[in-house]
Structure formats: structure tokens, C-alpha cells
Structure 1
Amino acid sequence: MFCGDYVQGTIFPAPNFNPVMDAQMLAGALQGFDCDKDMLIDILTQRSNAQRMMIAEAYQSMYGRDLIGDLKEKLSSHFKEVMVGLMYPPPSYDAHELWHAMKGAAIDENCLIDILASRTNAEIFQMREAYCLQYSTNLQEDIYSDTSGHFRDTLMNLVQGSRQEGYSDPAMAAQDAMVLWEACQQKSGEHKAMLQMILCNKSYQQLWLVFQQFQNISGQDLVDAINDCYDGYFQQLLVAIVLCVQDKPAYFAYRLYSAIHDFGFHNKTVIRILIARSEIDLRTIRKRYKERYGKSLFHDIKNFASGHYKKALLAICAGDMEDC
């Protein structure tokens, strides 16, 4: 993270919040054949996640129905994915995305990478708990059965949520950097295991020092070295971990840019990142996007999405609109 940065999301708690009134307005918006999509956007994208949970509780109490169930029934396509996604608590949303990434027609390895390479120990613990509650199965076991090789080993390490926190040792950093350098030279199974153990278990503070030492030893950035030495999803996962240590909002800006421009607008990736980061660092992600790609994220979404789906994404992305 760049010095002086203040990481900030785009969605904040609404002032003068009244969950009963919001629940009533949502019930009205969902009535009839053609529901009031503008009303759904105006309410659900302008409330914090905690406030949305209170709205859902009021809705259930007043109408005896599940708000997520009604949204699923009344809406369709990507707009439904956005509105329903907003109604999950963050750990449940991560669990939902991971489940669908592994249980769909094909495994979405990039979803596994985005989530597990970027979450804190606490977020991973809560995600595992939510996964077990929602799907009556174990996240670790599903990852083990649905992935393979060193990619699986690294995911399994990350999902333990056992990264050191707040600890750094400059002397050890030089040793770790040498291990990483050797791993990029030798590429044996043992060296790959050492590489992922360091990247998955050392604290962010320690890894900052390790990356500096690696540059000193090799004359090369670690991301470039990994890209030169490895390939496939194992390589992508290692790079994601390094980028998240260096600057997490920049990593997500890169992922959004790729999803918008490289894949003909990869809707699932765009939706997942915007919702998951909306109260954490989406405003900072927006800033990185503009710095690195010369166009605003708001502009690119506007050009590639359409209809109420576009309006919903823009409402999440916009925040105070200061640097859109």
C-alpha cells in the first residue's frame, strides 16, 4: 500500500435509517409483474451491509417472507446477481462465491484466487464458518477434492487462515528471500512447497522486507521472477498473493480491468469484486484504476454494461463520485 493512502469504500451507513420503511418500500417495489427496479437500486445500493441485514429482518417479520427469496423470484440475469449478492453478509457472500466457483459446470479458478489470496485470517475463518452453515460441507475438503497439484497445496495453505500478523524479522527476511530466489531457479517440488509456505504464512510486514531483499539478491521483481519460472493457476495464485501484499486495491483494479477488457466483460468477476470491496476499499480501487489505466472504472462500466444492471453497478461504484 502506498504511504499516506487512506483505504476507503464507496458504500456507507445511510443517515436517518429506518429498516421498517425500507422494507415496506421494497415490498411495494417487488409487487406486480414488472417490479420497480429503480427503487430496489436506490435502497439496496445506498445502505450498508449491516443495514441491509436489518431490512431483511424487518421484511421477514412484516411479510413472513425471505427478501433474498423474493429477489431471486422476481429478478433475472446479472441484475438479480447484483441485488441478491448485496443481501449476503460478507463471509456468506465469499462462501456463496466459492461454492459456485467449485460446483458449477467448470471450476472458476480465478474466483478461488481472488478470494483466498486477498482475505485476512479473520475473514477466512468467518468464510469457512459460513460455508459450513450454508452448504453443510467443509470448505477445505471441497478445495482439496476440486483442485490439484501445487495450486491445490497453496489454496489449502491459504484457507487455514494461519498467516502471521504484525511480525517482522529483517534477518529472517534475507533468508526467506534467498529461499524464494532458489525456488525460482530450481523449480523442484520441494522448492515450490517452500515458496508457497513463505508467501502463505509470513506476515504482510515480513513479506515487504522479503520482497525488498529478493530485489537486492536477484535484481528482479518477484512477480516477474514468478512469471518467468512458473505457469498455470499456480503461477497466477502466487502472483496474486504478492500483488495483494504490495497493494491490494491495485490488485483488484488490475482484476477489474482484465475482467472488463480481456474477457468481453466477465460479469461474475466485476459483480463479485464490486460487492465484496464496496465497504472496504472500492474507492481506493477506483483511484488505482484511473492512475494505472487512464480511464475511470465508472466510465468503463458505463460503456460495457447496460440497463438496470449497469445502473446498479454504477451506484455501487460511485460512492461520492468525487474521482469517478
Structure 2
Amino acid sequence: MDYRGSVKPFVHFNAKQDADILRKAMKGIGTDEDMVLKILTTRSNEQRQAIKAAYKKAHGKDLVKDLKSELGGKLEELIVALMSPPRVYDTDLLHNSLKGAGTDDKILIEILASRTPEQLKEIIKIYKKEHGSKLEKDIMGDTSGHYQRMFVILLQAEREQGVDESRVEKDAKELFAAGEKKKGGTDEEKFVNILGNRSIEHLMEVFEAYKKIAGCDIEESIRGEFTGNLEALLLAVVKCVRSVPGYFAYSLRESMRRAGTDDESLIRIMISRSEEDMLDIRAHYKKMYGESLHRTIQDDTDGDYGKALLYLCGGDD
């Protein structure tokens, strides 16, 4: 499989050299932000970990602590997040969105709907190790009803395999009967079970069959039948079944095209997809919105923060 990230391992990589350049950029009066972001946004995460170790060894200091004390605002948030290994980053996001008053449902939905089964299993392991409690238990403590049930199913990371041709039509009809056709409320359980358990390939066929029966896309039915967090979660699951890069193209658009940019979401997505599928996200974005992601970021952000995001985006389509 060809590599679909926009940030690739830097070819002539030298951890010690990068560590020295970063130290020099941060020492003395004022910080050379440009140099800091140029290095850290053009190295892979693995290389950043090596720089962190080399920095400690050569200068006896913690690179992340130094970055925090030298940078500020959104640039600091972005650069510090870049220094976390990907699944540790996911785990910290989940933990922060669950602790304290109120839950950040947006983050829970985004991560649990979009990560691969292998990634989810790793997240669960790291969560237990780092935070001393079970992710499932913490999510159950913060959610309820069918919304909670859908998360629990997704956390099992055990979708069925392959397409069961004999069940495609049946699933589509059951979804239709559970929603659009049902008088007096929706059968949420049906949606949760089918969307949570069937394989991606199977669901793609179910969505086709559904459209023929209902005369509309399943997303439209979900919007009509559900509200609030459960609606948001089911829509995210459906979008990710259709295309994970398509889902993130949509989420990036949402983060920038409102009054006031949702920088938290923008930073989170650009970082977590930069070594996964940013090239595909860019292609989807261009196709869906008729302009390049690069251009939208350029119009919506500024300064070193904007520049760092553009580095993560890679080229302009």
C-alpha cells in the first residue's frame, strides 16, 4: 500500500543536529518560532521522539517543557501535541474529554468512529496504563442509553468479517422499518446493532439497498429520526464506513467554515491524520468543496500557527 500521509520521515535525518538547532532557536532572548515549527512539522512522529531523546541527552533538558515555556497560544498547543506518539495523543484526548464536569462528546465520537480496530485496541491498552482505569468503564460512567451502547460496541473493535449477501436486503429493510417506516418512535436498538456490528463492506451494500427501498440516503433518515449525541455518533459511523478521509474532509470544513474557527478540532485532525491519510483527505476536500484544503487553511488562519498547519497539510491541490 502506498503511503498516504502528508508528513513523511525526513530523509537525511539527524536527531542530534535537530536537537541542537531547536536548542539554539529557543535560547536567549526571543524564540525563532519559524525554525522550531519548520523542524517539528517536517519530521515523522518517530523522528520527533528521537529528537526528544537527543535533546535530553545533549542539553539535559526536557524538550516539551522548553517548547511550552517558549511558545504560546495555538502554536504551542499544536507543537506540543505533535510531540506525543499518535495513540498516546488519542488516549490523552479521550481522557481529557471524559474527566471533570461535562463530556466532550465531539472528541469521543470522532476518535471511536474513525480509528481502526488495531488502533482502538492499542488506545484501550495505553488508557489503562496511563490513567489507571478502563476506557469502557469511564465512557459508561459519562454516557447513557443507546449512545452508550453504540460506544461499547465500537470499543469491542470486533466487526463481523466479509459480506453476507443473504442478509444485505434484510438489514436494509430492518433499518427502514426501524426508522422511516415505524410509527411512534424509532427502534434505536436496530440501528445501533446493525451499524455497530456489520463489516464495512457489508454496510456499504446495505446503504445501497437502503437507498433503493427508502428513496433517500441513510444519513438523511438518521437526521430525521435521531437527535443530539446519538444522531452525531451514528452519522460519524456511517460517514467513516463510506470513507474515513471523506469524514475528516467534512470535519475540517465544519471546523473552518463557521463564524470563528474551531481551532481545537482543526489542530486535532491535522495532527492525527498527517501521517495517516492527509493526501486522501485533501483529494476528498477538493472534490467535495471545489477548493483546496491548503487554501481554506490559508484563508482561515494566520501567523506561525497557520504556517505550521500548512506544513502539515503538505501541498496545495
Same fold, TM-score > 0.5, yes or no: yes
Match of 2:285 among 289, 302, 322: 289
Question: Cα deviation per residue 1:152-172 (whole Å; 9 max; x = unaligned)?
Answer: 22122212222234x111112
| Residue of structure 1 in register with 2:74 after alignment | 78
Question: Cα deviation per residue 1:17-46 (whole Å; 9 max; x = unaligned)?
Answer: 111111111222222342221111111100
Q: Kindly indicate whether the alpha-carbon contact (under 8 Å) linking 2:286 and 2:292 is maintained by their aligned counterparts in 1.
A: yes
| Residue of structure 1 in register with 2:166 after alignment | 171
SS, match of residue 115 in structure 1: helix
Inter-CA distance 310–238: structure 2 relative to 1 (3 Å threshold): same
1:253 paired with 2:245, answer no
| Aligned pairs for 1:71-220 within 5 A | 71-103=67-99, 106-165=102-161, 167-184=162-179, 185-186=181-182, 191-220=187-216
1:19 paired with 2:15, answer yes
Counterpart residue type for residue 13 of structure 1: P
Shift of 1:263: 5.0
TM-score (norm 1): 0.91
Shift of 1:288: 1.5
1:66 paired with 2:62, answer yes
1:232 paired with 2:228, answer yes
Counterpart residue type for residue 46 of structure 1: T
SS, match of residue 186 in structure 1: coil
Match of 2:28 among 20, 28, 32: 32
Counterpart residue type for residue 177 of structure 2: E
- Provide the alpha-carbon RMSD of the alignment: 2.0
Shift of 1:99: 1.7
Match of 1:300 among 276, 296, 300: 296
Structure 2 unaligned segments of length 5 or more: list them. Answer: none
Distance 1:259 1:104 in 2: 24
Distance 1:85 1:263 in 2: 25
Distance 2:42 2:202 in 1: 38
Distance 2:271 2:143 in 1: 26
Q: Kindly indicate whether the alpha-carbon contact (under 8 Å) linking 2:293 and 2:316 is maintained by their aligned counterparts in 1.
A: no
Shift of 1:54: 1.4
Identity of aligned residues (%): 38
When structure 1 is superposed on structure 2, of 245-254 and 170-179 the one drifting more is: 170-179
Inter-CA distance 42–210: structure 2 relative to 1 (3 Å threshold): same
Match of 1:41 among 18, 37, 42: 37
Shift of 1:188: 8.1
Inter-CA distance 225–60: structure 2 relative to 1 (3 Å threshold): same
| Aligned pairs for 1:264-275 within 5 A | 264-275=260-271
Aligned length: 316
Inter-CA distance 303–105: structure 2 relative to 1 (3 Å threshold): farther
Shift of 1:61: 2.5
Structure 1 unaligned segments of length 5 or more: list them. Answer: none
SS, match of residue 47 in structure 2: helix
Counterpart residue type for residue 169 of structure 1: D
Inter-CA distance 227–56: structure 2 relative to 1 (3 Å threshold): same
Shift of 1:302: 1.4
Q: Kindly indicate whether the alpha-carbon contact (under 8 Å) linking 2:186 and 2:225 is maintained by their aligned counterparts in 1.
A: no
Inter-CA distance 46–7: structure 2 relative to 1 (3 Å threshold): closer
Counterpart residue type for residue 175 of structure 1: K
Q: Kindly indicate whether the alpha-carbon contact (under 8 Å) linking 1:187 and 1:229 is maintained by their aligned counterparts in 2.
A: no
Counterpart residue type for residue 37 of structure 1: E
SS, match of residue 286 in structure 1: helix
Distance 2:184 2:88 in 1: 37
Distance 2:146 2:185 in 1: 8
Counterpart residue type for residue 269 of structure 1: S
Inter-CA distance 140–253: structure 2 relative to 1 (3 Å threshold): same
SS, match of residue 157 in structure 2: coil
Distance 1:105 1:33 in 2: 40
